[in-house]
A and B are shown apart, each in its own frame.
With several copies, the nearest count.
Chain A
């Protein structure tokens, strides 16, 4: 039975299914320094991201609440994990590489951080799902920028 969807294992890797079901960071932070919402009106995905900064202004912790598909929840959860300890600039750069990866499926200069996000690369074969993967990032960047709302591209 399950083999019907074998070709989908690229997109729905075990880690995605698992994170989609049981995100580790899927809650609002008790205390936070910044927050923003992301909204993809065409498909109904919504996410809110909360960020707490360390004294050196790097990201200490990220939490989120998402109503969305497995891809967007897993992406938010992996994002929360990967950006920890990063500066704003660093996070923006990471998002740029991530966006390239989910659009093209390749990741020319993949470092350890990107490897953590690599399970999402399968999304590039489903162009309309790319924005599911990037929506939480848009919200995070908006929070770091002090904007309240982000919408997906």
Chain B
């Protein structure tokens, strides 16, 4: 894998910001888009577009084929056993809401419990709170260690009374970079009669996901972080679960028949896809998946490991800089604070040098509280990130510290 070649595939990387070359270290919030994704969407809009699933004409048939090919690509990406297990949503957030609604209200019973962890994104907290409040399902939170890893003993203890119907935890923290031991989580969940779901929003960008090998029951991710367009996400779920779950949204395309008295539902996955889908975004996402698989996860993971090691070393050497999260198994997301400067001031100073990092609570307020901070600065890497960019970050951070001293 040649990073220079990759960078040429991403037109935005040649932009300058306030006169400085863009150093985009906010891929964890959303990744940039390669030419292949842009071209796929443009090509669809210029040469082959119509609504899908309903038309008998050429444009509609071709667009349906192109859109449905994304389902195959996503199934391949995750090694799903069955393409009907791929449900398209707007993003991870909607995927988790779908499960909280259709599995939570439809299958879980009041008195059962859902387990999440102390390092979840709000998207994997709030839907379960809403389920708790509407449906009487208990919400339990597995703690994390000071290193920022899931506390496995405490996690298992939460399941011991057999009340837990579903475990939903992140596969990789968007704040700490921690990768959770997914296979073990599934084993423990299943051993206690619970289903296991992962928020794979970050994880799938950094390592190959094999849902059959993981043995999990639900897996959610979002297109825009995997170099694809916004407006499309994926929920993978076991077919028998999808079949048992009531639908989430009602409307066109998700029905089998409609009378005013009663409607019946289409087969999975269509039962969960109401209305005109994100057609162009699906077509863009297929290009993103193909692009990622073309490079290969092995190369991506090696590049990321090198970047992360280098960044931990360089940032770790900055006086007064504290890194949050020291997990053994981790991805290319690093949260940090300077003793003399607030995260927002740091972000603004970096931005003035063309370096885009994120500062704030990263949609993980409870984790911030656990870490004892209000916010952190965060650098996150993509396949186009270079060692030189990390050096620029570290050099500039040194100067930021001087500025505030």
User: Are A69 and B399 CB-contacts (below 8 A) given A7-B352, A17-B404, A128-B56?
Assistant: no
Is the CB–CB distance between A41 and B399 below 8 Å? Answer: no
Binds B, one of A43-51, A78-86, A99-107, A139-147: A43-51
Q: B184: CB under 8 A from chain A? A: no
Nearest chain A CB to B278 CB, angstrom units: 19
Is the CB–CB distance between A5 and B61 below 8 Å? Answer: no
Q: B146: CB under 8 A from chain A? A: no
Q: A132: CB under 8 A from chain B? A: yes
CA distance A143 to B18 in the complex (A): 39
CA distance A91 to B389 in the complex (A): 46
Is the CB–CB distance between B341 and A43 below 8 Å? Answer: no
Nearest chain A CB to B334 CB, angstrom units: 18
Is the CB–CB distance between A44 and B361 below 8 Å? Answer: yes
Is the CB–CB distance between A69 and B403 below 8 Å? Answer: no
Binds A, one of B196-204, B211-219, B343-351: B343-351
> CB within 8 A of A2: which of B344, B361, B399?
B399
Is the CB–CB distance between B267 and A129 below 8 Å? Answer: no
Is the CB–CB distance between B375 and A43 below 8 Å? Answer: yes
Q: How many A-B residue pairs have CB under 8 A?
A: 84
User: Are A43 and B352 CB-contacts (below 8 A) given A2-B403, A128-B60, A129-B56?
Assistant: no
User: Are A42 and B403 CB-contacts (below 8 A) given A8-B349, A71-B345, A128-B60?
Assistant: no
Is the CB–CB distance between A8 and B368 below 8 Å? Answer: no
- Please count how many residues in chain B sit with their CB below 8 Å of the partner chain's CB atoms: 38
Is the CB–CB distance between A127 and B342 below 8 Å? Answer: no
Is the CB–CB distance between A127 and B353 below 8 Å? Answer: no
User: Are A41 and B256 CB-contacts (below 8 A) given A5-B399, A129-B56?
Assistant: yes
Closest B residue to A127 using CB positions: B61
> CB within 8 A of A39: which of B257, B345, B403?
B257
> CB within 8 A of A11: which of B348, B360, B365, B399?
B348
Is the CB–CB distance between B374 and A8 below 8 Å? Answer: no
Contacts of A21 in B (CB 8 A): 404
CA distance A20 to B18 in the complex (A): 25
User: Are A70 and B345 CB-contacts (below 8 A) given A44-B374, A128-B60?
Assistant: yes
CA distance A81 to B60 in the complex (A): 34
Closest B residue to A6 using CB positions: B352
Beta-carbon contacts of A10-28 to B below 8 Å, as 1s and 0s? 0110000100110000000
Q: B55: CB under 8 A from chain A? A: yes
CA distance A45 to B256 in the complex (A): 12
Q: B5: CB under 8 A from chain A? A: no
CA distance A46 to B361 in the complex (A): 12
CA distance A46 to B60 in the complex (A): 22
CA distance A42 to B64 in the complex (A): 14
Contacts of A8 in B (CB 8 A): 348-349, 352, 403
Q: A58: CB under 8 A from chain B? A: no
CA distance A151 to B361 in the complex (A): 16
Given A39-B257, A43-B360, A71-B345, 9 new contacts (CB under 8 A): A1-B399, A2-B403, A5-B352, A11-B348, A43-B375, A128-B56, A129-B56, A129-B344, A132-B344
Q: Closest 6 CB pairs between A and B?
A: A44-B375, A44-B374, A69-B342, A69-B344, A43-B360, A44-B361
